[in-house]
Chain A
Amino acid sequence: MTHETKILKDANNRQLNITREFSAPVEKVWKAWTEAELLDKWWAPKPWKTVTKSLDFKVGGFWLYCMAGPNGDKAWCRVDFTAITPGKSFDATAGFCDENGNADKSFPPMYWHNVFSATATGSKVDIELSFDNEADMAQIVGMGFKEGFTMGLGNLDELLASQ
């Protein structure tokens, strides 16, 4: 059974709301979002792979990982946990960095507020992605577009390999 991914943009252009239901119980979904070995298996959209360098899931701790592309290019990301209610929700600040976790200030931070809840058929995750201002969101928006472009090239890789 496939579930619909709902994405809404708020009126002032500073926030995106993403909602998705899962057939699995909320405990499992929580684990998949908070444990490195599980995150590495799903977080990166193909053909990218997530490789976690470290993850300290507690307030004040952070997740340091890279998105590794098919050509060996890497983008390092750091997610700092700012609030955690075990099994229910967590807040974090996400941004780009180098492989040692030093923030790349040329990219704006993105704030996550992720809420996990049980439903009659499984569970639901509500993600609020917010930005400091509209310009920051526009920059990330632009990256999203370029990201799609990169992913298109990734698919091309598969096509080429299959011929």
Chain B
Amino acid sequence: MFDSRGLKPLAFKIKRWNGSDLAAKKNENKFVQLIDCAYICNQSVANNMRRDIYQAIADPTRRAILTLLAVHAMTPNALAEHFNSTRQAVSKHIQILAECEAVSQKQNGREIYYHVNANKMKEIDKWLDTFRKMWEDRFNQLDDLLSDL
């Protein structure tokens, strides 16, 4: 098990690469530029991580919204009718879902319709593959160890 602090190596690597670049070229300006770039890269990684597909499914209301939208596209008002919470609360959930790219919107006349972004939802399956890969690596190492015991 690891935690989300796993992002650290990326920051470290970018800096290290820049470091060797500096040593090779001895170009102070370029170094500053690259550090800025590394900072922006890290920020953008951090922003992407702040809204990922798992946040979309982490909340029961959002899962219910996704289930409703899986059947057909709906307007925010039509969605809100299915919940006891306020329209604003439902809007907030839709906004988070949109930021996670779990849903996307289409304008139809004066109405905005939301529908499920199926490609994005597939990332969840991808995760399970990653998880399986981790256990496979682990168990293959155990196989090696067991044959030596």
Pairwise interchain contact A135-B146, C-beta atoms closer than 8 A: no
Pairwise interchain contact A69-B133, C-beta atoms closer than 8 A: no
Pairwise interchain contact A9-B128, C-beta atoms closer than 8 A: yes
> In this assembly, does A10 line the interface, its C-beta being within 8 Å of a C-beta of chain B?
no
Checking A23, A77, A96, A148 against B146 with a beta-carbon cut-off of 8 angstroms, the contacting residue is A23
Checking B3, B7, B55, B134 against A75 with a beta-carbon cut-off of 8 angstroms, the contacting residue is B3
**A153 — which chain B residues lie within 8 A by C-beta?**
9-10, 13
Measured in the bound complex, the distance between the Cα atoms of B13 and A18 in whole Å is 34
Interface residues of A in 1-52 (CB under 8 A from B): 2-3, 5, 7, 9, 16, 18, 20, 22-24, 28-29, 31-32, 38, 41-46, 48
A19 to chain B, nearest CB (A): 10
Measured in the bound complex, the distance between the Cα atoms of B11 and A153 in whole Å is 11
Checking B6, B12, B55 against A149 with a beta-carbon cut-off of 8 angstroms, the contacting residue is B6
Interface residues of B in 116-143 (CB under 8 A from A): 123-124, 126-128, 130-143
**A48 — which chain B residues lie within 8 A by C-beta?**
2
Size bracket of the B interface: 35 or more
> In this assembly, does A138 line the interface, its C-beta being within 8 Å of a C-beta of chain B?
yes
Binds A, one of B35-43, B57-65, B66-74, B101-109: B57-65
Pairwise interchain contact A150-B2, C-beta atoms closer than 8 A: yes
B139 to chain A, nearest CB (A): 5
* Binding site secondary structure of chain B: helix
Checking B8, B52, B130, B142 against A22 with a beta-carbon cut-off of 8 angstroms, the contacting residue is B142
- Given A7-B128, A141-B124, A145-B123, answer yes or no on A151-B141 (Cβ-Cβ < 8 Å): no
> Considering only CB atoms and an 8 Å cut-off, how many residues of chain A contact the other chain?
53
A52 to chain B, nearest CB (A): 14
Pairwise interchain contact A31-B139, C-beta atoms closer than 8 A: no
Pairwise interchain contact A7-B138, C-beta atoms closer than 8 A: no
**A141 — which chain B residues lie within 8 A by C-beta?**
54, 124, 127, 131
A149 to chain B, nearest CB (A): 7
Interface residues of A in 63-114 (CB under 8 A from B): 67, 69-71, 73, 75, 77, 94, 96, 104, 107, 110
11 residue pairs A–B, Cβ–Cβ below 8 Å? A28-B149, A29-B146, A31-B149, A42-B141, A44-B138, A46-B137, A73-B9, A110-B1, A135-B58, A141-B124, A146-B49
Binding site for B on A (CB under 8 A): 2-3, 5, 7, 9, 16, 18, 20, 22-24, 28-29, 31-32, 38, 41-46, 48, 67, 69-71, 73, 75, 77, 94, 96, 104, 107, 110, 134-135, 138-139, 141-151, 153-154, 156
